[in-house]
Each structure stands twice: as structure tokens, then as C-alpha cells.
Amino acid sequence: MIQLKEIHSKKEIKQFVLFPFSLYKNHKYWIPPIVKDEVNNFDKTINPVFENADARFFVALQEGKIVGRVIAIINRYEIEQQGIKKMRFGWFDVIDNIEVTKVLLDKVQEIAKENNLEYVEGPVGFNNLDKTGVLIEGFDELGTMITWYNHPYYKDHLEQLGYRKEKEYLENRFKYEDIKIERHVKASKILKKRYGVRELNFTKTKDIMPYVDEMFELFSRSYSKLSTYVPISDAQIQYFKKKYISFINPEYIKFVVDKNDKLVAFAIVMPSFSKALQKAKGKLFPFGIFHLLNARKNSKDVTFYLIGVDPEYQNKGVTAILFSEFHKTFGEKNIENCIRTPELEDNTAIHKLWSQFNPRTHKRRRTYRLDL
């Protein structure tokens, strides 16, 4: 018999976080999170996302053992300000037993109905900076720290329970050696002269910090028209700044500013921490931190995390400046592979942007929807 339990205590939340460690034990492609960071991410006194979101945590139990988990999420801004009557669910993991999935998602649907919401969508996080989607292709590809990995049967469970495709995301990769940089270098020179813009490169994290708030303002302007967009609060920006910016190589953050030093484009790239996280096994100490620091310095793979361009400049090709600068840095670092985070299947503009790099779609993921 499968039992459903709502959890609250920090001890229970830690058990919630640890469940995938058993589900994917010794798995070749799953990337474990750092347990302490994940627990803190769910702490309402630490993560400011809970200022605008409600979350309820559930596990499914069989003979006293956790066999599934899910978070039921209500983003109040999305509902009250945008008028999107959506019930979210995320951090969804289950054994290969559809009854476990049904018990968990029935509860999500129950909460949605109690709150007069119109449909359920997931797996998604709290906002645009969180992980999203069920992996439907690319199960034999190494995961990343900014995406969820899952077994192939997740898709089957959802579809058997009446969920249908809502959004699809592509993940692509390309080799550094396939970057034909000549046209970007030429375009970069023309653009800088025509529009009076220039690049900003960094060697110290402290020099980036004064620009971070402006960067997120630009991020909002860049992505506000996408169907998945939910605004990010000032408190969330400060949380992100503290948690991530200091750990990203400063030379992997590139800005373009206009003649008045106003930010018009940015891109953040991260070294791949996937193999380091597998070695860390969820713990920073005593040795996990060394694996991560080694990856930060020596990883030959990089992940394009965020890229944003002011709407006024989106058709002017300023990304050529960013790509030219990254190409120099990647050459100095002997980078071999460039990996892109999930991008909406119907975002033709972003696909066109990358098409000249001979990209290979190596993963697909999908969110699912159930109308109530």
C-alpha cells in the first residue's frame, strides 16, 4: 500500500533531498546536488522565492520507505498579477510504479482545485532560474547542475495519467573548434563603431558585482515576452548574487555597454561541474570542494547559462561582440565543448543565433499539462 505524507521539518526535507541519491545510485549520467545547498533552497527563512510562492512538500511511502517525492507550488505573482491560473509541480522523482506517480499528482491536482486553479504544469521550479522539464531524449548524455535528470519511464507515467505536452525544450552542444569566429570578429568591429558600444571583460569577481542588479533588469527585459516568464524580485537577485556569482569564473561573464555605460547585452558561462559533483557525492567536505574548485579552474567543457540582449539591440547583432570575447577566453582555457541550457523549441530567434556553430541537439525535455 502506498501512503502519502506531507513533510515539514528540516530532517524530513533532508530525506526528501536524499531520495534521488538512492533512486540513481551509481548512475552514470545523473548529477547529484550539494545536499546542504538543496536543503537551504527549500528553507523559507533563507530563500526569498517564498515571498511570492507557496510550496508544499510530499513523499510517497511504501513499507515505510520513500518511493516518490514532489513539491506542489503556487506562484502567487503568476496567478494574481499575470492571471495565469496554473498549479506548478517540481522536484518530481518516483520509482517505476505508476501508482506512486498517481498518488503524488492526485494530491497536486487536489491542491490546485482547492485554490480554483485551471491546470497543472510540471515539472517546473519556482521561477525562470530553476530547473524545468522531464527528460524525454538524451538519457545516455551526462546531466548538468542546472537541469533535472530522470529515468525514461517518467514520460510514460505522465502520459498514461492524461498529461499532455505543454512546452518542449532543446538542449544543444557544439565543439569549440566548430566556432567560425571570423564573421563575428568582423561584425564586432563594425557594431562597436556604428553604435558606440564596447565589451567589458573581468578578472575579479568584485568588479562584476556593481553590474549584477542591472544585469537582472536586462534579463527581465530580454525574456518578459516568453510564455514561461515570471519576474524575479530584488531579494531573489541578492540571493542569486550571493549563492552563484562568486563561484563563476569572472572571465566567463561578458557584458556589452553603450557609450553611456548602460548595459545592453550580457552572457554568463559556467565551467561544467558535472563530473566534480558526481565525485563530491552531495557533500562539499571534506573533499567535494576540491573537486569543484578543480573543475572551476580546469574543466574543458562550459555551459552557456544566461544570455540577454536589450530589446532595442536584439536585431543589431551585438551578440557577435559577446561571442568574439568568449572565443578568446575559451582559446586561452583550451575549452573543447560548449553546452547550452534548455531553450524553448519554438524560440526560433535563439536557435537562429546558434545555428552557425554546427550545434547538435543531444537532449529534449518537456513540461506536461493537465487541465482541471
CA distance 345 to 330: 27
- Cell readout for 320 is 557577435
pLDDT of residue 337: 97
CA distance 161 to 164: 9
pLDDT of residue 179: 86
Indicate the SS3 state at residue 277.
Answer: helix
Q: Number of C-alpha atoms within 13 angstroms, CB side, residue 33?
A: 19
- Cell readout for 78 is 503568476
Q: Which of 77, 84, 165 is nearest to 127 (CA)?
A: 77
CA distances, 34 to each of 82, 149, 162 (Å): 33, 15, 34
Ordered domains of the chain (ranges, CATH): 2-172 (3.40.630.30), 174-360 (3.40.630.30)
CA distance 83 to 187: 42
CA distance 213 to 234: 8
Digit-coded pLDDT (tens) for 226-275: 666 777 788 888 888 887 787 789 999 999 999 999 999 999 999 999 99
Burial string for 271-285 (b: 16+ CB within 10 Å, else e) reads: bbbbebbbebebeee
Whole-number mean pLDDT of the chain? Answer: 94
Q: Omega into 286 within 30° of 0, i.e. cis?
A: yes
CA distance 266 to 126: 23
CA distance 224 to 168: 18
- Please report, as a single letter, which amino acid is at residue 38: E
Alpha-helix residue ranges (DSSP H) falling in the chain = 10-23, 35-41, 76-80, 98-114, 153-160, 182-195, 205-223, 234-243, 274-280, 288-298, 319-333, 348-354
List CB contacts of 137: < 8 A, sequence separation 6 or more. 363, 364
pLDDT of residue 356: 83
pTM listed for this prediction:
0.94
Q: Let me know how many helices (H) and strands (E) the chain has, helices first.
A: 12, 14
CA distance 45 to 251: 33
Which regions of the chain are under pLDDT 70? 226-228
Q: What is the DSSP letter of 178?
A: G
**% the chain with pLDDT above 70:** 99
The rounded radius of gyration (Å) of the Cα atoms in the chain is 21
